[in-house]
Amino acid sequence: MTVIDIDVAMQHLRAECEDKSYVTLVLEAAEDNAMQFLNRFFYADTDSMAAAVLDGSAGGAPMLINPSVRAACLLIAGMLYNSREDAVTGTTVSELPQGSRSLLMPYRVGLGV
């Protein structure tokens, strides 16, 4: 189950209905990637977060998803959806200067020294 509504991801990716199961996979991976980068879990609403806190699965610094984290997840999902292989040939690829990492960085915890 994803934090971001699958229909939002479908619209963002301009995906066809028959791609819904693949978009779900990509969105789950994007959210997991963002949570790993942030070193924290995020939740769609306070009820989900409270339930995770109560059952001990929320980790040390849970948060509600916000527009920046949502946009970062959709950017990551777009990269995964459009780049279905590890290598790209015959094209120039560059990372966006204001990409997913810059959207996520203000919410990252546990950076260390």
Q: How many whole angstroms separate alpha carbon 89 and alpha carbon 56?
A: 45
pLDDT score of 79 more than 70 = yes
pLDDT tens, position by position, 45-55: 999 999 999 99
Q: Which residue has the higher pLDDT, 1 or 92?
A: 1
- What single DSSP character describes residue 18? G
pLDDT tens, position by position, 16-71: 999 999 999 999 999 999 999 999 999 999 999 999 999 999 999 999 999 999 99
Site of tokens 């990637």: 33
pLDDT band, residue 14 (cuts 50/70/90): very high
Name the residue ranges covered by the structural domains of the chain: 6-38+66-107
Write down the pLDDT at residue 98: 72
pLDDT band, residue 15 (cuts 50/70/90): very high
Return the structure tokens found at 92.
């120039």
Return the structure tokens found at 68.
């920046």
